[in-house]
Amino acid sequence: MAGVWVLAENRDLTIELLNIGRDLADKVSARLTAFLPGDRDRGQEYIDCGADEVLVLPALNPEQTVDAYIPVIVDEGRREQPDIFLLSGTLRGRELAARIAARLDTGLCSQCTALNIDEKTGLLVMERLIFGGAGIQKVVCQTRPQMATIAPRTFEPARRQNREGKIRELPASPESAVKILERKPKDRAAGSITEAKVIICVGRGIEKQEDLALVNKLAAATGGEIGCTRPIAEELHWMPEDTCIGLSGKQVKPELYIGVGISGQIQHITGIRDAKVICAVNNDDQAPIFDAADYGIVGNLYEVLPELTRQLEKITNK
Amino acid sequence: MLNIVTCFKWVIDEAYIKVGASRELDLEWADYKLSDYDRNAIEEAMRIADIEGGTVTAVTVGSSDATKGIKDALSRGPEKAIFINDPAFTDLEPSQTASLLAEVIASRLQYDLIICGEGSSDLYAQQVGPRLAELLDIPCIAFVSKLDIKERQVIAERKMEDGIEVVTAPLPALVTVLPDINSPRIPGLKDTLGAAKKSVISIGKEELTGMAKPHLETTAIEAATMERHCIKFNPDAEGIKQFVDALLKEGVMG
Amino acid sequence: MATDYAPSMQQAGVGSLHEKKGDVGMDFKLTEEQELIRANMREFARQYVDPIAVEIDENSRYPAEVMAKLAEGDWMGMPYPQEYGGAGVDYVTYACVIEELSRSCAATGFTLSCHTGLASGPIYYFGTETQKQKYLAPLCKGQHIGAFALTEPGAGTDVGAGSTTAVLDGDEYVLNGTKTFTSNGPVADTFVIFAVTDKAAGTKGMSAFIVSKDTPGLKVGEHFMKMGIRASQTSEIILHDCRVPKENLLGKEGQGFRIAMQTLDNGRIGVAAQAVGIAQAALDESISYSKQRIQFGKPISKNQAIQWMLADMATDIAAARFLTYYAAYLKDQGQPYSKEASMAKLFAAEMASRHTSKAVQIHGGYGYVKGQKVERLMRDAKITEIYEGTSEAQRMVIAGSILR
Ligand SMILES: Cc1cc2nc3c(=O)[nH]c(=O)nc-3n(C[C@H](O)[C@H](O)[C@H](O)COP(=O)(O)OP(=O)(O)OC[C@H]3O[C@@H](n4cnc5c(N)ncnc54)[C@H](O)[C@@H]3O)c2cc1C
Ligand SMILES: Cc1cc2nc3c(=O)[nH]c(=O)nc-3n(C[C@H](O)[C@H](O)[C@H](O)COP(=O)(O)OP(=O)(O)OC[C@H]3O[C@@H](n4cnc5c(N)ncnc54)[C@H](O)[C@@H]3O)c2cc1C
């Protein structure tokens, strides 16, 4: 029986997938099924958020990674033959999706930015970015299930209503060969930049880590959060990875984005495409970021930032 | 002694892509490059081989356009290359690439460790590595930022959204690597010249059981455009004031 | 910057274009190795040279750290055989590399081409096996830096007017005189120095010597402050009873003029490539600036006046590049290339000067300000019309050859 499945590694992401999942399920008149790793108590909430059925994956022992669930999900997939299977595009989600797709021998569209049902064919039309964000590719999948990963916060979370549905427990998973030796959780609450209204984003134009103080002041004046480019997070390690914006980082949708000392390579710009207003401070008037910006200041950030902060403080203090 | 296999892709360099008049992508002038993160994969393979001892084989799937890519890959250190080569092997989807790699690796190579880039810089689907691991039925650790081998166990640090996970798996295993795992070398002159002398085994379609059918069908590719005002201001107090005024007008301040 | 496509990544070398064999076609494609080597040098220059290019120009500083990296990547003995620590590549490849390096920094490009072409060249072509092992090998491996001291205060274009003398005294030649404008002088370990051994014999009385920097009597003068290629180190070499072992005579006594001329033929391919690299950088900068700069409500690149400058630039660069690769190709084929090397150097140098000036024009006032790349390019381009034979000297060579 045709169905739409959703799987995410935590509650918030599942609720987002339930929203788009419900929408698609209604369009193809299918049932919506959500996976629930671990904690059975959440089942009703998922049902209230749109699921017709919740499949509970028994909790794993602590040294196991989520990939232990693969055999159980694949067995269930072979039995139930879902039509559409959406996974949250977290790192674990992306690995899981690719491996499940391989076992089910089906296609997977990675990090979809839009999903629609083609009215004529009933196929799921998936859009994604290619060439570092320079192109948009539209694909359909000829085999079943039609699988896609979706970056967190691409869709709004579902609203809770009173609904009814089934909760079913899946069998326990066999142990995976991959074992966790150690977890080093992040100290900082993740995801704040994806919700920020204002983002000040820093790039390699900053000379030293201490100089982030300048950016902090600007962020304080605008009530914004600080994001960064990939080199700042991954090469220099001046900022946590979860503040990296772009193709391989976060997708953000602030009202205002100000990029400071950022060249504006396509892989970064892709992450700010949906910002309402994009601004840039860069001393190279030919930096590509000016092509992608509404307003730019051509100048040395070390001179521009203090003055900009001063002027903005005057306004916000009023 | 480890047998290390590293997979790479020869891709269109996105820096050369132009947008045509009707929003189509103009690839006519595009040049090719070794996919960015595959450079990290090759570098990591070389690093591990240096420490543990062993051989590194680089494998790619492509059409004869990729011969330059093979030399590029070999100039970064691997001993030999396997070129799964057919005119039909262009624009493959990840499942097809993975199945070709799996067949060749399973039937022709000894392997303890397979290293792939986390994703290719053209499609960035991030699927080939994990799919390949499944087809070979070996453990998979994706998004690795630090890699060690100890007593035939992979010890890997992977960066997840909620923190770092240190994981282990027995060899043979497959890992996909993040760009911060190392800084890929820039091949020197002799490295490039030496690459031409290394052995390349070419495997055509007729030597394989057949290519997996595609699952996906691309219905359109268009340019991702962004319409922005592109107004620039001077860095003096007056210019900055105009800038702030513009933000106020947009209603995004305060 | 990824936005503007620079044609030099894709255009190709000139193939078999010479007049003799009508049956040979033309192959304008670089080999895959040549393309990869070019791309690697581009990346090298982007990573190690671009970030310091402004600073080394401003401070007239020798980029020792880059030279060390070049040595690491085997870029210091490009055309010489592997047995001497070289890489054994052809001259077309060599030209591509000098061009790409010069596109980021002409001074660094010249430091390398002076080391490779002017200093190592004569030792390779005229040295004995012992001399090659002793002097060429460390040069090729980048353990040593080389310099070429021909010019004297009183002998520039007129090389034969040199007054530095070398007199055999027992097992040593005693050198006296002053050399000027010696590039790499302040940093060199090994010098090729020209001196007169037989005054009466005119140009046939000149000889060449390999001289180590620590030879008593050799003094390196102050580094000159120059208009362009400021990071290239230039000085006088003062020779005062400088005693050079007899076995350091390069070639035979009296062969000096020939050695100098042949070395310069060779070196001109390097200067031509350097000029092409400079002009290409000027075009890169001009294309992106003209697309960004808005005047009268539109990018200045929409004006035909600007477009024509860009079109002329691109055309001349292509022509100069083909001439350069063609001269290199002839050399690779073992054919005479002296005239073609002069043509390439003459044309490339003059077009680089002309077009870097146009590039400043396209940048308007902003192009005249320090720190803008086109300003440096314009200063750097000028020297290519002067050293390794002025443009006038090149015309003399070409005219001499076609009037023969
Ligand atoms: C597959 C793939 C995925 C990627 N994903 C991402 C991603 O998700 N996010 C991301 O950001 N990148 C990503 N990248 C990397 C991306 O291509 C760029 O390398 C990166 O965005 C550049 O970062 P940057 O702008 O900070 O640095 P740079 O490109 O070095 O730019 C620094 C800028 O600062 C300016 N500057 C310097 N000094 C000053 C000063 N004093 N005042 C003002 N301006 C100054 C310079 O003019 C320059 O424009 C990815 C790359 C690949 C291949
Ligand atoms: C930065 C720099 C680096 C250098 N590096 C080196 C080096 O490493 N080794 C080295 O040996 N030399 C080097 N030189 C010297 C260079 O090769 C000479 O400067 C050049 O050959 C010109 O000589 P000159 O300066 O004495 O000028 P002159 O010979 O005095 O020429 C002055 C002008 O008269 C013209 N002229 C001269 N004779 C004629 C003629 N017969 N017909 C028509 N016009 C004529 C010239 O073309 C020129 O325009 C370098 C010079 C500079 C500036």
Q: How far is the CA of A230 from the centre of ligand 1 (A)?
A: 7
| DSSP collapsed to 3 states, A219-263 | HHHHCCEEEECHHHHHHCCCCCHHHEECCCCECCCCCEEEEECCC
Helix (H) or strand (E) holding B104: helix B94-108
**Mutation choice for B interface testing from A69, A109, A131 by most B CBs within 10 A:** A131
Neighbours of A175 (CB within 10 A): 12
CA distances for C62 relative to C57, C118, C187, angstroms:
9, 18, 8
Q: Give the minimum alpha-carbon distance from B211 to chain C in angstroms, rounded to a whole number.
A: 29
Considering Cα of A92, then A97, then A100, then A102, what sign does the dihedral take?
Answer: negative
DSSP reduced 3-state for C81: coil
CATH topology (fold) of A198-316: Rossmann fold (3.40.50)
Domain chopping of chain B, boundaries: 2-207, 226-254
Residue A318 pLDDT exceeds 60: no
- Tell me how far the alpha carbon of residue C294 is from its chain's centroid: 37
Q: How far apart are CA C82 and CA C91, in angstroms?
A: 15
Question: With an 8 Å Cβ cutoff, are B68 and C32 in contact?
Answer: yes
Give the pLDDT score at C12: 34
Q: Which residue of B has its CA nearest to A65?
A: B167
**Mutation choice for C interface testing from A263, A286, A289 by most C CBs within 10 A:** A286
Question: With an 8 Å Cβ cutoff, are B142 and A91 in contact?
Answer: yes
Q: Give the minimum alpha-carbon distance from C284 to chain A in angstroms, rounded to a whole number.
A: 11
Residue C300 tokens read as: 């200045």
Q: How far apart are CA A301 and CA A159, in angstroms?
A: 43
**Mutation choice for C interface testing from B189, B197, B234 by most C CBs within 10 A:** B189
Q: Which atom of ligand 1 is nearest to the CA of A266?
A: 17
Contacts of B8 (CB under 8 A, 6+ apart): B34, B35, B38, B41, B42, B58, B59, B60, B69, B73, B117
| CA-angle at C197, arms to C194 and C199, nearest 5° | 110
Q: Give the minimum alpha-carbon distance from C359 to chain A in angstroms, rounded to a whole number.
A: 15
pLDDT digits (tens, 9 = 90+) for B124-134: 999 999 999 99
Q: Is A293 on the interface with C (CB under 8 A)?
A: no
Q: How far apart are CA C266 and CA C121, in angstroms?
A: 8
- Assign C10 a pLDDT band (cuts: 50, 70, 90): very low
Q: How far apart are CA C174 and CA C241, in angstroms?
A: 5
Give the pLDDT score at B186: 97
Give the pLDDT score at C78: 97
Residue B220 pLDDT exceeds 50: yes
CATH 1.10.357.140 fits C146-254, yes or no: no
Residue C4 pLDDT exceeds 50: no
User: What mean pLDDT is predicted for residues C390-399?
Assistant: 97
CB-ligand 1 contact for A230 (6 Å cutoff) = yes
Q: Give the minimum alpha-carbon distance from B54 to chain A in angstroms, rounded to a whole number.
A: 23
- Assign C14 a pLDDT band (cuts: 50, 70, 90): very low
- Assign C343 a pLDDT band (cuts: 50, 70, 90): very high
C289 contacts in chain A (CB < 8 Å)? 285-286
CB-ligand 1 contact for B243 (6 Å cutoff) = no
CB-ligand 2 contact for C104 (6 Å cutoff) = no
Residue C218 tokens read as: 């050799």
Residue A221 tokens read as: 């004046």
pLDDT higher at A33 or A152: A33
- Assign A189 a pLDDT band (cuts: 50, 70, 90): low
Q: Atom 17 of ligand 2 has which residue's CA nearest to it?
A: C387
Q: How far apart are CA A161 and CA C395, in angstroms?
A: 89
Give the pLDDT score at C16: 34
- Tell me how far the alpha carbon of residue A222 is from its chain's centroid: 25
What interhelical angle do C373-383 and C106-113 show, nearest 10? Answer: 30
Give the pLDDT score at C8: 36
Q: Is C200 on the interface with A (CB under 8 A)?
A: no
Domain chopping of chain C, boundaries: 28-140, 146-254, 258-402
Q: How far apart are CA C107 and CA C274, in angstroms?
A: 9
Q: How far apart are CA C229 and CA C356, in angstroms?
A: 14
Residue B38 tokens read as: 């595959």
CB-ligand 1 contact for A175 (6 Å cutoff) = no
Q: Is C292 on the interface with A (CB under 8 A)?
A: yes
Q: Strands, E, within C93-196: which ranges?
A: 146-149, 165-169, 172-183, 190-196
Instruction: Look at residues B44, B35, B12 and name the one whose alpha carbon lies nearest to residue B180.
Output: B44
Q: Which amino acid makes up residue B236?
A: D
Residue C11 pLDDT exceeds 60: no
Q: How many helices (H) and strands (E) does chain B have?
A: 6, 15
pLDDT digits (tens, 9 = 90+) for B15-37: 888 777 777 888 877 889 999 99
Nearest ligand, measured from the Cα of A262: 1
Q: How far is the CA of C390 from the centre of ligand 2 (A)?
A: 6
A250 contacts in chain B (CB < 8 Å)? none
Say which of C2, C3, C292 has its CB closest to residue A285: C292
Instruction: Look at residues C237, C234, C232 and name the one whose alpha carbon lies nearest to residue C194.
Output: C237
Q: Is C50 on the interface with B (CB under 8 A)?
A: no
CB-ligand 1 contact for A288 (6 Å cutoff) = no
Question: With an 8 Å Cβ cutoff, are A265 and C288 in contact?
Answer: no
Q: How far apart are CA B35 and CA B6, in angstroms?
A: 13
**Cα-trace Rg, chain B:** 22
Question: With an 8 Å Cβ cutoff, are C36 and B71 in contact?
Answer: yes
Kindly report whether the peptide bond that precedes residue B172 is cis, defined as omega within 30 degrees of 0: yes
- Assign A5 a pLDDT band (cuts: 50, 70, 90): very high
Instruction: Evaluate whether C56 touches C231 at the Cβ level (below 8 Å).
Output: yes
Neighbours of A60 (CB within 10 A): 19
Residue C303 pLDDT exceeds 60: yes
CB-ligand 2 contact for C113 (6 Å cutoff) = no
Residue C134 pLDDT exceeds 50: yes
Residue among C57, C62, C181 whose CB has most ligand 2 atoms within 8 A, to mutate: C181
Question: What average pLDDT does chain C have?
Answer: 93
Instruction: Evaluate whether B73 touches B8 at the Cβ level (below 8 Å).
Output: yes
CB-ligand 1 contact for A236 (6 Å cutoff) = no
Say which of B71, B72, B189 has its CB closest to residue C89: B189
| CA-angle at C159, arms to C156 and C162, nearest 5° | 90
Q: How far is the CA of C179 from the centre of ligand 2 (A)?
A: 13
Q: How far apart are CA B11 and CA A15, in angstroms?
A: 37
User: Can you tell me the ipTM of this complex?
Assistant: 0.91
Q: Which atom of ligand 1 is nearest to the CA of A300?
A: 42
Q: How far is the CA of B126 from the centre of ligand 1 (A)?
A: 22
Neighbours of C51 (CB within 10 A): 10
DSSP of C214-232, one letter per residue? Answer: TSTTEEEEEEPP-SS-TTS
Residue A238 tokens read as: 């001046």
Q: How far is the CA of C385 from the centre of ligand 2 (A)?
A: 9
Residue C24 pLDDT exceeds 70: no
Question: With an 8 Å Cβ cutoff, are B215 and A255 in contact?
Answer: no
C3 contacts in chain A (CB < 8 Å)? 286, 288, 291
Q: Atom 38 of ligand 1 has which residue's CA nearest to it?
A: A205
Domain chopping of chain A, boundaries: 4-169, 198-316
Active site residue C388: yes
pLDDT digits (tens, 9 = 90+) for C59-116: 999 999 999 999 999 999 999 999 999 999 999 999 999 999 999 999 999 999 999 9
pLDDT digits (tens, 9 = 90+) for B50-105: 999 999 999 999 999 899 999 999 999 999 999 999 999 988 999 999 999 999 99
**Cα-trace Rg, chain C:** 21
Neighbours of A156 (CB within 10 A): 10
Instruction: Evaluate whether A38 touches A16 at the Cβ level (below 8 Å).
Output: no
Say which of B140, B143, B216 has its CB closest to residue A139: B216
* Among C99, C285, C340, C388, the one annotated catalytic: C388
Question: What is the CATH architecture assignment of C28-140?
Answer: Orthogonal Bundle (1.10)
Instruction: Look at residues B136, B168, B137, B138 and name the one whose alpha carbon lies nearest to residue B153.
Output: B168
Q: Strands, E, within B31-139: which ranges?
A: 32-34, 54-62, 80-85, 113-117
CATH topology (fold) of C258-402: Butyryl-CoA Dehydrogenase, subunit A; domain 3 (1.20.140)
- Assign B254 a pLDDT band (cuts: 50, 70, 90): low
For A57, phi then psi, to 5°, come to -95, 120
Q: How far is the CA of A299 from the centre of ligand 1 (A)?
A: 17
For B234, phi then psi, to 5°, come to -75, 155
Q: Are strands C165-169 and C172-183 parallel, antiparallel or unpaired?
A: antiparallel
Q: How far apart are CA B132 and CA B141, in angstroms?
A: 12
Q: Which CATH number applies to B2-207: 3.20.20.60, 3.10.20.440, 3.40.50.1100, 3.40.50.620?
A: 3.40.50.620
Residue among C157, C184, C265, C392 whose CB has most ligand 2 atoms within 8 A, to mutate: C157
Question: What is the CATH architecture assignment of A4-169?
Answer: 3-Layer(aba) Sandwich (3.40)
DSSP reduced 3-state for A92: helix
| CA-angle at C89, arms to C87 and C91, nearest 5° | 135
Q: Atom 11 of ligand 1 has which residue's CA nearest to it?
A: A229
Instruction: Evaluate whether A226 touches A219 at the Cβ level (below 8 Å).
Output: yes
pLDDT digits (tens, 9 = 90+) for A80-107: 999 999 999 999 999 999 999 999 999 9
Neighbours of C42 (CB within 10 A): 21
Classify the phi-psi angles of C364: left when phi > 0, otherwise alpha if psi is within -120 to 50, otherwise beta: left
CA distances for C76 relative to A41, C52, C57, C140, C143, angstroms:
69, 20, 22, 5, 9
Q: Are strands B113-117 and B2-7 parallel, antiparallel or unpaired?
A: parallel
Q: How far apart are CA B156 and CA B89, in angstroms?
A: 32
B195 contacts in chain C (CB < 8 Å)? 33
Say which of A265, A266, A286 has its CB closest to residue C289: A286
